[in-house]
Structure 1
Amino acid sequence: MSGLWCEAAWLPGRGVVDSVRAEVDEAGIVTSIRSGVPAEAADLRVAGVAFPAASNAHSHAFHRVLRGRTHNMGVGSFWTWREQMYRAAGALTPDLYEELATAVFAEMVVTGWTGVAEFHYVHHQPDGTPYGGNTGGQHAMELALARAAVNARIRLTLLDTCYLAGGIGQPLSREQARFGDAGVEAWLQRLQSLREVVARDFSPDHVSVAAALHSVRGVPEEALPVIASRLPEDIPLHIHLSEQPAENEACLQATGLTPTGLLHRHGLVTSRLSAVHATHLTESDIALLGAGHATVVMCPTTEADLGDGIGPAAALRDAGARIALGTDQHAVVDPWLEMRALEHGERLRSGQRGWFPPEALHEAASDAGAISQGRRLPGLQPGRYCDLMAVDPASLRTVGSQRDQLALTATAQDVATVVVGGRLAARKGIHAVLGDPASLLAAAIAKIDTAPEGP
């Protein structure tokens, strides 16, 4: 048992409270809290205002390589951006991906994210051949991500992704060969094998395996009933959904249904589903996702960067869906900016303010993201992980703010302390074990820039 004392902390249902002390067990779980008490000699002391740490509900770690490199193509689009993404994916090896992901996960930790759902589809060698032998077996890329997460002290939910087609009715392209499996049965078998290996080698508090379908473009309809009947009921399921109007149009033409309608036809719109983006939805889609109590993962800074549009977050919430947040392609790695962008998107759409008050923004950033990963919630409450992000309330950006409204003024630059499981993980942008993530990122990106491309 260890102790942690916060100068001030946001507590569920109480707002910001001064002098909060928590007892934490060996698993990093809060066993008790008291407020208005002094610190004890051996306590980890946390200055500023502590909030539940953020849970990143959607990440593609290797996309971090593209930040600041895709804006020189004139009138670009998601589809032209995607070609650069394929080139970055083609350069990855297990060792290089572990190095890059360690840096990306460290960047997340120092900014306040202590859990991540990694939407992973770079499974095989660039020509599609499974890894094996000296590379660490068929799960070489997946285990590289698991080791990276442990190195960075982030809780990883590895979303092993089913990716079988290059579009509706189209085979995988040359660039997509390493993403795919021989069919839905092959994916299910590989997923089960991966779950067994990870359960054997890693604590579930640190690394767990769940499932993802790339999209209705990437998974043919005939595979959906197989997945619905065969996927273990105890694991989360994520999917990119209606990110682009072109996806909706292709799905309607091929099936007569929207992507959401197609998933509903096969019984996949349930409370374990996390629909990522959900930017271009019909009123019927919103009703289906709400009635199924699905999680919708908004990635506001990515959706802005790619020009995807503003998803109907408030309408989805009002219909019964849960809203979570993710960094996706990492144009920004900052939970505070994602929270702010969620509210600002609704303001821009409606011309009104106050759609997501600060408490709802923290719930989206923290609790909803953890739920989408099937994880224990973070924060200062008995039974939760003692995972915290504490901000300086007197910085240039935050000075004068009411403490319970810091979600609307703080940024990652104001994160003074990050705690994972009651242990110090980062202070003032420096990782407690790995040091400055910028140096790690610079080294990894330089290696990718000089790596040979895949076939």
Structure 2
Amino acid sequence: MSSRQTLYAQHALLPEGWATQVRLHWNDSGDLSLIEKNVPAAPHEKQASYVIPGMTNLHSHAFQRAMAGMTEIAGEGPDSFWTWRDLMYRFALAITPEQMQAVAAQLYAECLRYGYTSVCEFHYLHRAPDGHFYQQRAEMAARVIAAAEQCGMGMTMLPVLYSFSDFKDQPLRDDQRRFRTDVDDILNLVGDLESLRSAQVEVGVAPHSLRAANTQQIQELEHALPSGRPIHIHIAEQMREVEASLAATGQRPVELLLNTQKVDARWCLVHATHLTSAEVRGIAARGAVAGICTTTEGNLGDGFFELPEFIEAGGVFGIGSDSHVSQSAVEEVRWLEYGQRLRLQKRNVASVAGRRRVADFLWQECLKGGAQAAGRRVGQLSPNYRADFLVLDDQHPNLADLAPDQVLSSLVFSGNDNLVRDVYVGGRLCVENQRHVHQDQIQNDFRRCMQQLRSL
């Protein structure tokens, strides 16, 4: 037994719940190979008090980390998602491949420190600023994957199909020229990235939205995509989008998607903020993941997901940090519950019979939904799953001497200190004592990059 490939946990969160005196084993490939329970610790063995699975961040636009905090100035008229988007486009038009990698590495290092161990990158910056593809067509996507590899972050790369500016196949605006792709472009990008797939990297696709890709294109893409690959889409984020869909097609966005596509467990419907009861039940019945991004949805004024009704329908859901106004898995989970409390004026909303601890229910459900959205074997401490886990800080007053069934409640709902001490991804120690192992270099690269971008 190699001590470098085991960790002994006094308490570990397994799929069936908390277990005590647990030894985790993983192999050279970074997969868990054995979970021993109720065993004594060996002399000189590396130990931890509380170990939980790392979270999947199921929706990320990495380059937007560069503009976090820069859009919080009120304009002369009403501000909205659509006014925010204008600044986002300015950054999107300017960022270089080298800057893309520096920003993504900073983001992923932060996400790791705050509890994410996998990310689904909804990537639409494919072309050079002049609108042409780079000599290496997948240059920008490969840079993002390189940043994940640099940090140790698990990755699901999702090249984005982006052909139109609005419903009825309206042509793209000039400031959207870096996003422009058709179905063949996306399939070519998927092929170009095939050699980068591994136990750490999956490649799926993402029709940007029903505004930016029409239903025929999405059908063609889904049909040509290799079996089992994840498919993500923005849907019903803003009421303006819902109203435009009704005007153009006579159907709401989710209604249109469900009526025209083979939506199933491969799909992740991101935001789905504005739903009817029929749409809530429809998503749940198809087994698709609802990708909820509470900090971004709050920042942009999107609205609230219909969480209680979705839970009642047996729906699968997970969390994403999207525009990266927060990089904390804990904050995302916390506001998933707090948003519902504010909306409904109730407490302890996210629970079901037999599972009344809200933090435990949310963390475990988001682990499941995130893993499904990623299309990777992550999200649980079980043999043949990735050795992705968090060691919590048992010396912090919020966790010291807690019974295991109190740990997640304290993690999620008590204070803003980061309670994640160490982070392992694929058995690799990426964060130790709350610092990324390459933090200094990553931060220096990011600072240089931001000096350039802030001059825009």
Give the TM-score of the pair, scaled to structure 1: 0.90
Query: Do structure 1's residue 4 and structure 2's residue 22 form an aligned pair?
Result: no
**Residues 159 and 190 in structure 2, CA contact (< 8 A), matched pair in contact too:** no
Partner of 2:407: 403
Query: Do structure 1's residue 264 and structure 2's residue 258 form an aligned pair?
Result: yes
Which runs of structure 2 are paired with 1:223-234 in the superposition (5 Å)? 223-234=217-228
Partner of 1:332: 326
Sort the Cα spacing of 1:440 and 1:223 in 2 relative to 1 into closer, same or farther, 3 A.
Answer: same
Query: Do structure 1's residue 415 and structure 2's residue 420 form an aligned pair?
Result: yes
Which runs of structure 2 are paired with 1:106-125 in the superposition (5 Å)? 106-125=109-128
Partner of 1:425: 430
**Aligned match for 1:318, one of 305, 312, 321:** 312
Unmatched tracts of structure 1, length 5 or more: none
Cα distance in structure 2, aligned partners of 1:325 and 1:99:
24
Cα distance in structure 2, aligned partners of 1:433 and 1:232:
35
Cα distance in structure 2, aligned partners of 1:314 and 1:111:
26
Q: How many residues align?
A: 439
Partner of 1:208: 202
State which drifts further: 395-404 or 280-289: 395-404
Q: Percent of pairs identical after alignment?
A: 32
Sort the Cα spacing of 1:412 and 1:124 in 2 relative to 1 into closer, same or farther, 3 A.
Answer: farther
Sort the Cα spacing of 1:307 and 1:147 in 2 relative to 1 into closer, same or farther, 3 A.
Answer: same
Which runs of structure 2 are paired with 1:47-66 in the superposition (5 Å)? 47-66=48-67
**Residues 65 and 325 in structure 2, CA contact (< 8 A), matched pair in contact too:** yes
**Aligned match for 2:187, one of 185, 189, 192:** 192
Deviation of 1:257 after TM superposition, in Å, equals 0.6
**Aligned match for 2:291, one of 272, 293, 297:** 297
**Aligned match for 1:442, one of 427, 442, 447:** 447
Cα distance in structure 1, aligned partners of 2:375 and 2:240:
31
Sort the Cα spacing of 1:46 and 1:102 in 2 relative to 1 into closer, same or farther, 3 A.
Answer: farther
Deviation of 1:397 after TM superposition, in Å, equals 4.8
Cα distance in structure 1, aligned partners of 2:449 and 2:435:
17
Sort the Cα spacing of 1:404 and 1:166 in 2 relative to 1 into closer, same or farther, 3 A.
Answer: closer
Partner of 2:160: 161
Partner SS for 1:166: coil
Please tell me the root mean square deviation across aligned C-alpha atoms, in Å.
2.1
Cα distance in structure 1, aligned partners of 2:20 and 2:97:
46
User: What is the CA deviation profile of residues 374-395 of structure 1, one whole-angstrom value per residue up to 9, with x for unaligned ones?
Assistant: 1002332222211111222453
Cα distance in structure 1, aligned partners of 2:383 and 2:287:
26
**Residues 104 and 441 in structure 1, CA contact (< 8 A), matched pair in contact too:** no
Partner of 1:93: 96
Give the TM-score of the pair, scaled to structure 2: 0.90
Sort the Cα spacing of 1:19 and 1:447 in 2 relative to 1 into closer, same or farther, 3 A.
Answer: farther
Partner of 1:22: 24
2:155 partner letter: L
Sort the Cα spacing of 1:412 and 1:115 in 2 relative to 1 into closer, same or farther, 3 A.
Answer: farther
User: What is the CA deviation profile of residues 244-286 of structure 1, one whole-angstrom value per residue up to 9, with x for unaligned ones?
Assistant: 0000000011101111111122223222110000101111211
Partner SS for 1:327: coil
Deviation of 1:322 after TM superposition, in Å, equals 0.5
**Residues 228 and 266 in structure 1, CA contact (< 8 A), matched pair in contact too:** no
Cα distance in structure 2, aligned partners of 1:175 and 1:203:
31
**Aligned match for 2:83, one of 80, 85, 99:** 80
1:415 partner letter: V
**Residues 325 and 364 in structure 1, CA contact (< 8 A), matched pair in contact too:** no
Unmatched tracts of structure 2, length 5 or more: 351-357
State which drifts further: 389-398 or 6-15: 389-398
Deviation of 1:442 after TM superposition, in Å, equals 2.7
Deviation of 1:436 after TM superposition, in Å, equals 7.3
**Aligned match for 1:35, one of 37, 41, 66:** 37
